[in-house]
Amino acid sequence: MTIVLLRIGSRGSRLALAQAEVAAGRLRGPGIEIALVPITTVGDRDRTKPFGQIGERGVFVKELEEALLGGRIDLAVHSAKDMTSSDTDGLSVGAYLPRDDPRDALCGAERLWPGMRVGTASARRRAQLLAAEPDLSVEPLRGNIDTRLRKRGERRLDAIVLAACGLDRLGLASEIGRRFEPEELLPEAGQGALALQVREGEEELVAREDDAETRRRVEAERACIFSIGGGCLAPAAAYHDGDALTALVADEDGRWVERRRGRDPRQVAEELLAAVAAA
């Protein structure tokens, strides 16, 4: 029997490797062997600057994409929320695995209250948290999940906000005090989904694992963020619940939030940009 070796590129964090192993488990089969290839990204190397200073989206995928284009790996596993809103030339998402919980999670508390100290490095989360409770103290917090959970105690933060799916995948759901509904805290585009990225023309490597419903929703979210991105520097988010797409643009300090809902990603984006321009 001919043996095919698939080299799967992944970030080296515990969560990233666990996610890569999920993909590997689906792709293994008779005649197929898997090798996981850990790759360090710029987002992993610089753990002090806020995401906005190093480029919030794409900082965890660039080096993986370069390895894929250079032939050093055969596919890359990404958290879809980390990807830019458009595909890189020469690459495509060959499959989206079935989406896990897309919600954000409050760890360390079950609710928000005035004066509460909350840790997050996400401008999107910061804006929405402050819109919900203006008297919060939102403090920057970087690092992988284990590091941020540890820093919560070291810095005596009342709570931190993380993606629920990552905690679930690492068996840390007990850390969650509250899962925010999308109406409360709109998720990042693609949050909860794993994307298997390949070189253009090699989609057959992973195509059988593609979940059509996850693709439909995540691609709509990415398209909306792409349309917003060219005309707005404010924090933005998009989430498709299966029926329609909800997107928002917000002031970074939560002083205003514009939300729109619809079925056409571009129209939703245009309505948001028009509302921001008129404000």
What phi and psi, each to the nearest 5 degrees, are found at residue 43?
-65, -30
At 96, list the tokens: 């989206």
Task: Verify whether residue 210 is a known catalytic residue.
Answer: no
Reduce the DSSP state of residue 230 to 3 states and report it.
Answer: coil
Alpha carbon distance 230, 242 (integer Å): 26
The enclosing H or E element of 139 equals strand 137-139
pLDDT of residue 225: 96
The enclosing H or E element of 260 equals strand 257-262
Alpha carbon distance 8, 270 (integer Å): 38
DSSP string covering 34-84: EEEEE---HHHH--SS-HHHH-TTTTTTHHHHHHHHTTS-SEEEEEGGGS-
DSSP string covering 165-202: HHHHHTT-GGGEEEEPPTTTSPPPTTTT-EEEEEETT-
Give bridge partners of residue 260 from the DSSP assignment: 247
Q: Please give the chain's pLDDT, 279 residues, in tens.
A: 677 899 999 999 999 999 999 999 999 988 899 999 999 887 666 555 554 544 555 788 999 999 999 999 999 999 999 998 889 999 999 999 999 999 999 999 999 999 999 999 999 999 999 999 999 999 999 899 999 999 999 999 999 999 999 999 999 999 999 999 999 999 999 999 999 999 999 999 999 999 999 999 999 999 999 999 855 678 999 999 999 999 999 999 999 999 999 999 999 999 999 999 987
pLDDT of residue 2: 74
Task: Answer yes or no: pTM beyond 0.75.
Answer: yes
Separation of CA 242 from chain center: 18
Contact (CB, 8 A) for 255 and 237? no
pLDDT of residue 41: 82
Contact residues for 213 (Cβ-Cβ < 8 A; gap 6+): 99, 242
Q: Considering the candidates 44, 74, 82, 101, report the single residue annotated as catalytic.
A: 82
pLDDT of residue 54: 44
pLDDT of residue 58: 72
CATH number for the domain formed by residue range(s) 104-179: 3.40.190.10
